[in-house]
Amino acid sequence: MNKHIGILTAGGDSPGLNAAIRAIGKTALGTGRMDIVGFRDGFRGLLENRTMRLDREGLSSILTLGGTILGTSRDKPHKMPIGGEVMDMTDVICENYRRHNLDALICIGGGGTQKNAFRLAQKGLNIMTLPKTIDKDVGMTDLTFGFHTAMEIATEAIDRLHSTAHSHHRIIVVEVMGHNAGWLALGAGLAGGADVILIPEIPYDPFKVAQAIRLRQQRGTNFSIVAVAEGALSADDHKKYQTLKKNKTKAKEDRNPKAEKKASDALLEFDLYRSTNTLKLSRLLEEMTGLESRITILGHLQRGGTPSAADRVLATRLGSACVGYIEQGLTGMMIAVRGEGTEPIPLDQVVGKRSTVPLDHCWVSSARNVGTCLGD
């Protein structure tokens, strides 16, 4: 009897998702012992029984497509918006899993998806996951697909901004995605020759950034490119943020709902405040250096378009390996990248882990060695 395998894509879209779907589908169908069904729009599709047939014909032309043919959403099984309310629909999702006679469900996503998938695994479902995110911040894996394409897009943007910065003698501040990890800004900044790179792992001093730009002026270079990760904070703001997080943790440990809500509201207010950090930094550097400053926020541009060859290869490796592990009877695992190979990692070891840039990482030392200012 054939095994029935489900696939869903959840969280933010990422280049390489269709390559992963294709690899899973073609590998599974190639065994002659598996059937594949796709669920539309993440966990909501499983909740609402909205499926897509995945056969050889449907899988044959999706390798180079951006986005995901299955659609995606950020809906969580235990916090699902239903009719104006937020409800725990985990049990309904588990029931639908069994109604479809699934032998395994492959959830493709980032850190949030790993958590949501683990909750389903704890309910007894056979769950496997693949790590995808442009941020490269999923723990316990060397790499995530989507990162390479996004880094190429950000690098190309920095390349193009050099000429306009040079022509107008300006500072151009480029905001790069990455959430609270600096991989994307650091990689693109290095590859694009940014003069300043600011990442969340290294709280920055605006005065030192301005000093580095003024030094370039003194040497006859009247323009600068500043690559800043969306989660980067000044040293002062970083201290405030850490205090707010500690307050929430303490309130949770003390089981004080009122204090926890107050701390959560304060964090939300801080997130709103820091959403304009790039603009504030640009204006501050303009005041400090006397140079005109302009901002470019790359935003969702980094998620779209054709995936790079590297991401297609990586997604294909992970997707095909996942099917092999399912054939071996493994479950409750994320398929991690380990050098040129793959390794199944138990989901309970993945959940809550985040991959951030180590301060002694070779990318950091390389940036410093070539004279890039990191703001500290």
Per-residue tens of pLDDT for the chain, all 376 residues: 899 999 999 999 999 999 999 999 999 999 999 999 999 999 999 999 999 999 999 899 999 999 999 999 999 999 999 989 999 999 999 999 999 999 999 999 999 999 999 999 999 999 999 999 999 999 999 999 999 999 999 999 999 999 999 999 999 999 999 999 999 999 999 999 999 999 999 999 999 999 999 999 999 999 999 999 999 999 999 999 999 999 999 998 999 999 999 999 999 999 999 999 999 999 999 999 999 999 999 999 999 999 999 999 999 999 999 999 999 999 999 999 999 999 999 999 999 999 999 999 999 999 999 999 999 9
pLDDT confidence of residue 1: 82
Distance between CA atoms of 46 and 293, rounded to whole angstroms? 48
Distance between CA atoms of 22 and 133, rounded to whole angstroms? 18
User: Which residue in the block uniquely carries the two structure tokens 């809500």?
Assistant: 261
Distance of CA 216 to the CA centre of its chain: 34
Pick the catalytic residue from 13, 75, 135, 311.
135
Question: Which class does domain 148-303 fall in?
Answer: alpha beta
Domain boundaries, the chain: 3-145+307-350, 148-303
**SS3 (DSSP) at 39:** strand
Answer whether 3-145+307-350 and 148-303 agree in fold: yes
Contact between residue 185 and residue 178 where contact means Cβ atoms under 8 Å apart: yes
Other beta carbons within 10 Å of 239: 12
Specify the CATH number of the domain 3-145+307-350: 3.40.50.450
For 217, residues 6+ apart whose C-beta sits below 8 A from its C-beta are 289, 291
pLDDT confidence of residue 373: 98
Contact between residue 131 and residue 162 where contact means Cβ atoms under 8 Å apart: no
Distance of CA 60 to the CA centre of its chain: 27
- As separate numbers, helices (DSSP H) first and strands (DSSP E) second, the chain gives 14, 13
Q: Is 103 a catalytic residue?
A: no
pTM, entire model: 0.95
Please give the single-letter amino acid code of residue 177: M
Residue spans of alpha helices (H) in the chain: 17-31, 43-47, 56-59, 90-99, 111-122, 147-168, 183-192, 206-218, 235-253, 257-274, 277-289, 309-327, 347-350, 362-369
